[in-house]
Amino acid sequence: MLGIVDLTVSIEGVRVLRNVGFELQDGKTTILIGRNGAGKTTTLRAIMGLVACDSGTIWLDGEHLEALPGYQRARLGIGYAPEDRRLIPDMSVEENMRLPMLALNLPKRETTDRLDEIYAMLPELHVMRARAAGSISGGQGKMVALGRALTVARKVLLLDEPFQGLAPALALEYARTLGQLRKHRPDLAILITESTPALLDRIADRTLQIERGEITDSSNHEVQTCISSSTVARETETIVSGSKSMRS
């Protein structure tokens, strides 16, 4: 379980996150919703150790992360797919996905096993595995970034705006993949940021709202049944969100 308590982050003197706190439960998918600039990406970057925290704590299964160097996150089982993909263009798709496992110095056997598992979940990656990452489309790149994050995401998977800029067909495909992923990895804690929650209703167990660096709202979808439209979902949230404390 990954938890954040009273996290405050400033970037160049501007306070970007204020006392942010929530927990990601194993086996649950949490959606972090907010407008551009609300602090979604910074929240993920803080978890990954890519920005320094002013105060607050981040822990994973009882271990404090904020004092550890950034590269330790992958070793601890946190996978991260940034919004802008960040693939290495002159390496092949498979090489890009192998890099995290190479960094962790995993045995060859383990590396092949994990790749096979990912190819089973995301067959389209198997088709394009030999292509240069620079030659694939942005949408395909999102899939590769997801695959790469999954190679090390043994406990937590962080996806930053995975639907941003995806063509509608690809977005549906991606949402379907996330559903598949849940079946393959029932224990994984997943955090997805989005500015529009429409596509995520069916896979979200829990929704958090972030506004100007503060978590304003949280709702547990388990108490709601049969939410088909996102508007209904958002209305329900406001009703359900009685408790602001996320540390239950």
Partner 1 sequence: MSSAFIPLLLDSLASAALIFFAAVGLTLVFSVLKVLNVAHGSLYSIGGYLAASLSLFVASRGLNPYFSFVALLLSAALVAAVLGPLLEATLIRWVCGKSEAVQILATFGLFLILEDLQRIIFGVQSYYEDTPMRLMGTTTLGGVVYLNYQLVLIGVALAVIFGLRFLIRHTRLGRLMAAVVADREMAQSIGINTDRIFLLAFSLGVFLAALGGALSTPTSGIAPGLGADTMVLAFAVAAIGGLGQIEGAALASLIVGVARVTAVYVAPEFDAVAPYAAMLVVLLVRPYGLLGTMKIRKV
Q: How far is the CB of 52 from partner 1 (least distance, A)?
A: 13
Is 155 a binding residue for partner 1 by CB under 8 A? The answer is no
In three-state form (DSSP H/G/I as H, E/B as E, the rest C), the secondary structure along the chain is: CEEEEEEEEEECCEEEEEEEEEEECCCCEEEEECCCCCCHHHHHHHHCCCCCCCEEEEEECCEECCCCCCCHHHHHCEEEECCCCCCCCCCEHHHHHHHHHHHCCCCHHHHHHHHHHHHHHCHHHHHCCCCEHHHCCHHHHHHHHHHHHHHHCCCEEEECCCCCCCCHHHHHHHHHHHHHHHHHCCCCEEEEEECCCHHHCCCCCEEEEEECCEEEEEEEHHHCCCCCCHHHHHHHHHHHCCCCCCCC
Is 234 a binding residue for partner 1 by CB under 8 A? The answer is no
Is 48 a binding residue for partner 1 by CB under 8 A? The answer is yes
User: How many positions of this chain bind partner 1 (CB under 8 A)?
Assistant: 26
Which one, 63 or 90, has the nearer CB to partner 1? 90
Is 74 a binding residue for partner 1 by CB under 8 A? The answer is yes
Which one, 71 or 243, has the nearer CB to partner 1? 71
Q: How far is the CB of 46 from partner 1 (least distance, A)?
A: 12
Q: How far is the CB of 71 from partner 1 (least distance, A)?
A: 5
Q: Pick from 8, 19, 57, 75 the residue near partner 1 by CB under 8 A.
A: 75
Sites of contact with partner 1 (CB under 8 A): 48-50, 69-75, 80, 82, 86, 88-91, 95, 99-100, 102-105, 148, 152
